[in-house]
Amino acid sequence: MENRSESLKTERNEAWRSDLRKNIKAKDRTSLIRAKMNEVDANVRIKSYVEVNSGLTVEQAQQEAARCIDCANPTCINGCPVEINIPKFVKRIEQGEFLEAARVLKETSTLPAVCGRVCPQEKQCEANCFYTQKLKKEPVAIGYLERFAADYERESGQMSVPETATSNNIKIGVIGSGPAGLTFAGEMAKKGYSITVFEALHEIGGVLKYGIPEFRLPNDIVDVEIDNLRKMGVQFETNFVVGKTVSFDDLKEEGYKAFFAGSGAGLPRFMGIPGENYIGIQSSNEYLTRINLMHAAEQDTDTPVVSGKNVMVIGGGNTAMDSVRTAKRLGADRAMIVYRRGMDEMPARKEEIHHAIEEGVEFITLANPIEYFADEKGRVNKVKIQKMELGEPDASGRRRPVAIEGSEYLIEVSTVVVSVGVSPNPLIPDSLPELTTTKWGTIEVNEDTLQSSINTVFAGGDIVRGGATVILAMGDGRRAAQSMDNFLKKNEQ
């Protein structure tokens, strides 16, 4: 920590940074208005999968970067799970050195174009910004700027590949190619390890591909970041379920010295209410996988999807928003969110909720489904909804929803998407019986080192956290890489 703050100070005192600070008075900087993200109009965008946010222009980005007063103590960095050197990249943007800005991002983040789009910055870096903390003003739009720099670099055709140390020929296996695994792979490649990423599906990217829709995170952008990892020497194997296709023991025999498990929180949860297995009721994982990974909505693909005119999505998280907004794009007349708490308690990002409202999504809050009904073919056609009210706060600190007896009513539906969370996938724990898991089925790790009960297996992301965000998974990948490197070096001695 001491070292970091020292080096931050040294960098801040470099001539270009001090000169830049002197160009505009702090008072003038703080009187600038925060940039608004450019968006495709709601009526236009719901007719296609076009990305909703279209990014900042060069002028907008430079002006927004000028709002940052380049604090002596940049608290924003503390809010970033991968510790991006935020003032440095922001000031590079103000300076007009956009490729340099991208290089700064890539020092610590493997997937900047992804993070710039899907990170909840309002709860992380931007929540720790001087503007938010001290001035009680809107924070510097760090997320928009991150996206700007990453996009600028990609579109420039001059993408830099992070430097990698000389190969040490130590083979490391990565299980799962989602944000945790990709970040881990990138960090370890930088340190000179030989990395192979094993992916169970036929495409690389995990939740970035099967989960997050095209209108929020285009697949092409994920592919560019994956290509960059390939250029750093990372190998990928698809259609490979570690523990099933090849056992851990066989992989060790093939020379793998250690593993990082970033296999995600696989199993979708259902509510266990009557009628939940009727046709037309599916998990958000299934619905989104059919659309995002299998491209079911395109004419020339073989995978079908059921998505009717009245689509109800159960849940209030980001995945629920992704599902309901997808339903709108698939032609739903009525796309509804049913959530048991109120609008204020919804765990989804404010931006996603706002976009959903703009797109005509209906929000039925303080409501909970308690039974499904079907036609003679077993297709769901009605949902019995029970009204709720908020009681005392529960363990999560949010007020507990309490059912109002006698308040039940019916809503007609043709499709229901259940988006009430996920449980950890049992595949890895099943194939490693000596691995310690928690009572929730997640892999138990040392909080600091992310090392599991088997000392050559490290783990991070949702297989440890149960269900979190892309950036927390990335933070885990980065931390696990550092501690595995320390561990392997110590063992060598």
Partner 1 sequence: MYKIIEKTFFSENVVKFEIEAPRIAKARRAGHFVIVKIGKKGERFPLTIAGADRVKGTITLVVQKVGVSSRKLTALNVGDHITDLVGPLGQATHIDNKGTVLACGGGVGVAPLLPIVEAYKKAGNRVVTVIAARNKDLIILEDQIREYSDKLVIMTDDGSYGQKGLITDGMEQIIKDEDIAEAMIIGPAVMMKFASLTTKKHNIPTLASLNTIMVDGTGMCGACRITVAGKTKFVCVDGPEFNAHDVDFDEMLLRLGGYKEIEKEAETDYLKQCE
- Considering the rule CB under 8 A, would residue 439 count as an interface residue with partner 1? no
* Residue range at the interface with partner 1 (CB under 8 A); choices 151-159, 243-251, 327-335, 394-402: 243-251
Q: Are 105 and 112 in contact (CB under 8 A)?
A: yes
Q: Of residues 373-392, which lie at the interface with partner 1 (CB under 8 A)?
A: 377-378
- Considering the rule CB under 8 A, would residue 202 count as an interface residue with partner 1? yes
- Considering the rule CB under 8 A, would residue 278 count as an interface residue with partner 1? yes
User: What binding mask, one character per residue, do residues 349-378 give for partner 1 by CB under 8 A, x or -?
Assistant: ----------------------------xx
- Considering the rule CB under 8 A, would residue 252 count as an interface residue with partner 1? no
User: What binding mask, one character per residue, do residues 293-322 give for partner 1 by CB under 8 A, x or -?
Assistant: -xx--x-xxxxx-x----------------
The footprint of partner 1 on this chain (CB under 8 A) covers a number of residues equal to 42
- Considering the rule CB under 8 A, would residue 116 count as an interface residue with partner 1? no
- CB-nearer residue toward partner 1: 49 or 210: 210
User: What binding mask, one character per residue, do residues 135-174 give for partner 1 by CB under 8 A, x or -?
Assistant: ----------------------------------------
- Considering the rule CB under 8 A, would residue 286 count as an interface residue with partner 1? yes
- Considering the rule CB under 8 A, would residue 99 count as an interface residue with partner 1? no
- Considering the rule CB under 8 A, would residue 274 count as an interface residue with partner 1? no
Q: Single out the residue of 20, 40, 50, 241 in contact with partner 1 (rule: CB under 8 A).
A: 241
- Considering the rule CB under 8 A, would residue 468 count as an interface residue with partner 1? no
250 exposed, middle or buried (CB, 10 Å; 0-12, 13-18, 19+)? Answer: exposed
- Residue 423 sits at φ, ψ, to 5 deg, of -110, 155
Rounded distance between C-alpha atoms, residue 322 and residue 355, angstroms: 10
Which residue is associated with the tokens 């979708």?
A: 268
- Considering the rule CB under 8 A, would residue 410 count as an interface residue with partner 1? no
Eight-class DSSP state of 294: S
Q: Single out the residue of 283, 318, 414, 456 in contact with partner 1 (rule: CB under 8 A).
A: 283
Rounded distance between C-alpha atoms, residue 456 and residue 256, angstroms: 10
DSSP 22-48: HHS-HHHHHTSPPPPPEE--HHHHTTS
Residue 81 Cβ vs partner 1, minimum distance, rounded to whole Å: 24
DSSP 354-413: HHHHHTT-EEEESEEEEEEEE-TTSBEEEEEEEEEEEEEE-TTSSEEEEE-TT--EEEE-
Rounded distance between C-alpha atoms, residue 373 and residue 383, angstroms: 6
DSSP reduced 3-state for 335: strand
Q: Are 477 and 260 in contact (CB under 8 A)?
A: yes
* Residue range at the interface with partner 1 (CB under 8 A); choices 1-9, 134-142, 290-298, 355-363: 290-298
Residues 6+ apart with CB under 8 A from 265: 422, 423, 424, 425, 442, 462, 463, 465, 466, 467
Bridge partner list, 402: 389
Which residue is associated with the tokens 């095209």?
A: 214
Give the tokens for residue 392.
């005392």
Binding residues for partner 1 (CB under 8 A): 200-202, 210, 238-241, 244-247, 266-268, 270, 272, 276-280, 282-283, 285-286, 289-290, 294-295, 298, 300-304, 306, 377-378, 425-427
